Amino acid sequence: MKKGTLLKVFGFMMAIFCLAETCWAEPTNITVRVISKDAKFIGSSMGGALILLRDAQTGELLARGKTQGSTGDVNRIIKEDHKRGLPLSSEGSAKFSATLDLNEPRLIEVSAFGPMAQLQSANRVSATQWVVPGKHLTGGDGWLLEMPGFVVDVLEPPAPLKLKGTPQMVKLKANVRMMCGCPIKPDGLWDANRLEVKALVKRNGKPIETESLSFAGATSQFSGTVKVKEPGIYDVMVYAYDPNNGNTGVDSVTFMVSK
């Protein structure tokens, strides 16, 4: 077969393939936002939230990225009454945007993992939704996910830590913030007075006591002490809990005490 004829046949076959598959695909825009439970959007200041878009039926990864932008307008999100149809997001509010080429309706799963700057407190949330080619999912807040939890970061004792001698008092100190990074303080917009912050202490794998941590005088700081009576390996799990809505965050530290 001559070269010119081969090129024509190839072109014809590509045209058929295009008509059957690619040319039917329509660009479909999806915007994903992740909002901290009882707080603001998870954005650049907290390393964003990792977003994965997959075909829920096949598992095919369609897009990935991080939410970027600001935590949003505190008045719109927290202080003002919410009316149906009005978005919580404003210009610059953190988001992840992707354009998918879809040639048929697909059941899409979105997952968010974060905040990426505080992996010890990161949670994962997901949801599924049918998406039709050309029918964009960008209106209002787009595809909005709520991320539960608190960012809890144990600052003291530092790890790894080896202590000598008993009995002695070991200082505990933790930083507690909302998942968006918003600060917590007494009588503040996020009120430290309503939080339960405690340390669950184990020695050699066995629970021995629970100690309360109180506001330490600086924004988002909580402190307390653990009385070490015997040598051993001490595991301390610090949690923050809001009884009003069940929101909970955890971090932990391990230290060793010798004779």
- For residue range 121-155, list pLDDT tens digits in order: 999 999 999 999 999 999 999 999 999 999 999 99
Residue-range domains of the chain with CATH: 24-147 (2.60.40), 150-258 (2.60.40.10)
Q: Who has greater pLDDT, 99 or 16?
A: 99
Question: CA-CA distance, 41 to 31, in Å (whole number)?
Answer: 14
Name the pTM for this structure.
Answer: 0.89
The two structure tokens encoding residue 138: 């960008």
The neighbouring-strand residues paired with 31 are 97
| CA 201 to chain CA centroid, nearest Å | 27
Dist. CA 222–CA 203, nearest whole Å = 22
DSSP letter at 218 equals: S
pLDDT in tens, 189-232: 999 999 999 999 999 999 999 999 999 999 999 999 999 999 99
Report the candidate in 101, 111, 102, 92 with the shortest Cα–Cα distance to residue 52: 111
pLDDT for residue 4 is more than 90: no
What is the pLDDT averaged over residues 172-194? 98
Task: Work out the percent of the chain whose per-residue pLDDT is above 70.
Answer: 91
Share above pLDDT 90 across residues of the chain, in percent, rounded to a whole number:
86
pLDDT number for residue 25: 87
What's the pLDDT at 1? 52
